[in-house]
Structure 1
Amino acid sequence: MHKTLAFLLFLLPGLALGQGRLSGVVQDSATHQPLAFSSVFLANTTLGATTDDQGRFEFPKVPAGTYEAVGTYVGYRLSKQTITIGKAAAPQQLTFLLGSAGPQLGEVVVQANPHREEDFKKFTSYFLGESTFSQQCHITNPKDIVVYTNDSTKELTAAAKNFVQVENEALGYRLKYFGMFFTYNPETDFVAFSGSPVFEEMTPRDAAQQRQWEANRATAYIGSFPHFLRSVYTGQLRANGFMAQQVRIMPNKRFERLEPLSRRPAGSLTDAEQDSLEVLGKLAPAFATLYPAARSLDSLRRVADGRVYLRFTGELQVAHFGEAPDRNYSEPMATLGPEPRKQPYPAQREVSRLRLQTREAEIRPNGTLRNPADVSTGEYWGFEKMGEFLPLDYQPPVLAPTPAK
């Protein structure tokens, strides 16, 4: 099951707590001359602006929240600043100083070398995903992307000097992913990518397509990891149809005893050891035990000084009820603990796994995580990728409570 680390936490809609005004200027870092017609955007949103002939820009209405503001211009390096818009914030002024885009020590240098078709297909599969919505996503500038497979580690990496452009025909968004860097490790089956994306609303053919996009966006949001995070922050976990259970991972002692055989040269093994090595291939390295009781909200978060932290130990299994999984999801859905006759559950559900990479992860007021790398996901949430990617300023429809059983 593919796991996703970086992009999942960029999806969550901001909480409509107020609006603020943001303006500023974009300049050359060496000469301080204005850069006319450069682009400024708030990453992971549909909010973007183009500077005038004096390098000035303005966002008259920015929803309250914390954002990564990005300045970009052809031939220059990206410039980023973290900003916070409060409930009744005073207007903010930013200055972006953009430097030359020449390569620096330690930077991944993207060259115009053709990539192998096989590598590019793997990249698009892991980056875009395989869901019904992902199959309606298309990369429109494939020649700007360099994909590389390390012959030794077999790790797959991809990068673009400027941006990767994706058109999502299912959700009606055109996405430019600036500074994208992607990696896939086949040994751990782990996918991660990072960068600064900006969304643009596509123009629908007619009113019917607009309604379909709105319905698809709601489908992508409901039950997603961003929906879960927002539910934890607002204290509406059960009301929004989520149930979290503790998973305990126990190592398989038999696997641990036999695993050293796999590192020995084949010619050095006795017949008995060779037989044991064949058994090893049929063993799981660990066993997972699921505790049937649902975790309470207070056991999953810590609230202190007006801040909310996602906090738990080990792994969680998180189920969302009322939504059927995507038809392209081929894995069997995980169990839910008690037998159905003892505690019935709705037949339609999506089951995911969640692990903290640190002791706790702070959830910002707009529902995102301060550090996306603090969390990794698997199973159903690991299956959802670019096809379900929504901007921060997406506002979901008002949903009726669907409490978990």
Structure 2
Amino acid sequence: MVGSYVGYRLAKKSVTVTAAPQQVTLELASTGNQLGEVVVKPEPNKPDELRQFTNLFLGGTSFSEQCYISNPDQVRIFLDEDTGELTARAKEFLQIDNEALGYRLKYYGLEFGYDKADGTMSYYGEPVFEEMTPRDERQQQQWAANRATAYRGSFMHFLRSLYNDRLEADGFLAQQIRMAPNPHFRRVENKRRALQQRRPNGNFTRAEKDSLARWQSVTPTLATLYPAPRPIDSLRRVSLNGERTFLRFTGELQVAYFGEAPDARYPRRMLPLGATRKPYPAKRQVSRLRLEDGEAEIQANGSLMNPLEVVNGEYWGFERIGEFLPVDYTPPAASAPAVPAKP
């Protein structure tokens, strides 16, 4: 939980959400009257680096296109020219106006990282949401509809469904992916490196370029999809006293949501779901999950105690700030989509 007020410092406290009401006290320290000081301003961000950070952080969805960073001077961006790794941080907060959802988001203490080598991205901080004022009733209704769209099939939606044992009822299909080392990868990687050492200037023949492209497609691990839906006990662990719930599974998890078509801007085809007696609906969103440390604690509101314990990929990796909702968001009541029969 976080709290903020003009003239006071941000306060935060970890809270475990339960069914019983709780009273939480946050003490906000005053910023006080500070003496004048000499401020040394850093070099402004390079336009290309700021543009790259903005695109990565906000995302590329239709809703992300309606998001704007209103104080870009508050973020400091660092780009490693050798590795392509981009990091960014905000000393106070970064403010994002989401015209699609009607939220003004203040992201306190933002820490952002993007690794170009493997395409992974992470960011964390303390988000504080403020409701924007609509122009009229029509815009208010549009915001409500867009928020429901952002929620359906989201990671928050999945975690709430998992917490309440409603995956199938809410239109989710969770499948296991077994990861194993690729026995051919090391041999292919040695060939690739040897060829690059022989041609340090990159002057490859057409045949060598074809070989490099073919070798580049060989991955270090092989993924095997098991199409049967995973039982709830293989996806979560509930503590003996019933007060704590953990996301837990082996290998990786593939999650399909059948209640909504993907955003028109999504650049990939959806991953296959394997064989089944009945064909899967064409309208679906397919994501991947990986645990960093065996399990991750889930709260009833669909948030993680430590978001860095889970890595999202595919469709959930595509959805970013444009679909970001407050943890107390309540969706409108709606009928759940049907999940195909088990294979």
TM over 0.5: yes
> Structure 1: which amino acid aligns with 2:283?
Q
Structure with bigger strand share is 1
> Which residue is equivalent to 1:63?
none
1:326 to 259, 263, 269: 263
Distance in 1 of aligned mates of 2:216 and 2:150? 37
* Map of 2:13 onto structure 1: 81
Q: 1:151 offset after TM fit, Å?
A: 2.1
**Structure 2 residue 67 is matched with structure 1 residue 137:** yes
Q: Distance in 2 between matches of 1:165 and 1:268?
A: 47
1:343 positional shift: 2.2
Instruction: Give runs of aligned pairs for residues 4-403 of structure 1, distance below 5 A.
Output: 68-71=1-4, 78-84=10-16, 87-89=19-21, 91-97=23-29, 111-264=41-194, 266-267=197-198, 279-304=214-239, 305-306=241-242, 307-338=244-275, 342-403=277-338
Q: Give the Cα separation in 2 of the matches to 1:148 and 1:187.
A: 16
Equivalent pair of 1:302/1:309 in contact (CA under 8 Å): yes
Rounded Cα–Cα distance in structure 2 between residues aligned with 1:162 and 1:184: 21
Cα gap change, 1:90/1:389 in structure 2, threshold over 3 Å: closer, same or farther?
Answer: closer
Separation of aligned partners in 2, 1:90 and 1:246: 37
Which has the higher mean CA deviation after the structures are superposed, 177-186 or 282-291?
A: 282-291
Q: Relative to structure 1, is the Cα distance of residues 279 and 171 closer, same or farther in structure 2, using a 3 angstrom cutoff? A: closer
TM-score by length of 1: 0.74
* Letter in structure 2 aligned against 1:291: Y
| Other structure's SS at 1:199 match | strand
Q: What CA deviation, in whole Å up to 9, does each residue of 1:10-40 have, x standing for no partner?
A: xxxxxxxxxxxxxxxxxxxxxxxxxxxxxxx
Q: CA deviation at 1:261?
A: 3.8
TM-score (norm 2): 0.86
SS at match of 1:191: strand
3-state SS of 1:130 partner: coil
Tell me how many residue pairs correspond in the alignment.
325
For structure 2, list consecutive stretches of 5 or more residues without a partner in the other structure: 35-39
Structure with more contact order per residue of length (Cα contacts < 8 Å, sep ≥ 6): 1
**1:304-333 CA-partner distances (Å, limit 9, x unpaired):** 221211110000110000200000001011
Q: Is the 8 A contact 1:166 1:175 kept in 2?
A: yes
Q: Which residue of 2 aligns with 1:17?
A: none
Say if 1:362 and 1:370, in contact at 8 Å, map to a contact too.
yes
Shift of 1:360: 1.3
Superposed CA deviations along residues 257-285 of structure 1, whole A, max 9, x for unmatched, are 1213444562389x9xx686564234333
Task: Provide, for residues 334-372 of structure 1, a one-character-per-residue CA deviation record: whole Å limited to 9, x for no partner.
Answer: 101106xx3222221000001111111111233322211
Q: CA RMSD in A?
A: 2.6
Moved more, 248-257 or 171-180: 248-257
| Equivalent-residue separation in structure 2 for 1:278 and 1:199 (angstroms) | 46
The range that moved more, 283-292 or 374-383, is: 283-292
Does the 8 A contact of 1:353 with 1:378 survive in 2? yes
SS class of match (1:326)? coil
- Give the gaps of 5 or more residues in structure 1: 1-67, 103-109
1:78 positional shift? 4.3
Q: Distance in 2 between matches of 1:156 and 1:139?
A: 18
- How much does 1:136 deviate? 0.5
Instruction: Give how far 1:299 is off.
Output: 1.6
Kept in 2, the 8 Å contact 1:258–1:277? The answer is no
Amino acid at match of 2:292: Q
SS at match of 1:94: coil
Name the structure 1 match of 2:37. Answer: none
Does structure 2 conserve the Cα–Cα contact (< 8 Å) formed by 1:240 and 1:402? yes
Aligned to 1:237, what secondary structure does the other structure show? coil
Residues 1:330 and 1:87: Cα distance change in structure 2 (over 3 Å) = closer
Partner Cα distance (1:88, 1:251) in 2: 47
More deviation, 117-126/144-153 = 144-153
Closer, same or farther: CA 380–374 of 1 in aligned 2, 3 Å: same
Question: Secondary structure of the residue that 2:238 maps to in structure 1?
Answer: strand
SS in structure 2 at match of 1:179:
strand
8 Å contact kept, 2:76–2:88: yes
Q: 1:80 to 1:228 in 2, by over 3 A?
A: same
What is the identity percentage for the equivalent residue pairs of Structure 1 and Structure 2?
A: 50
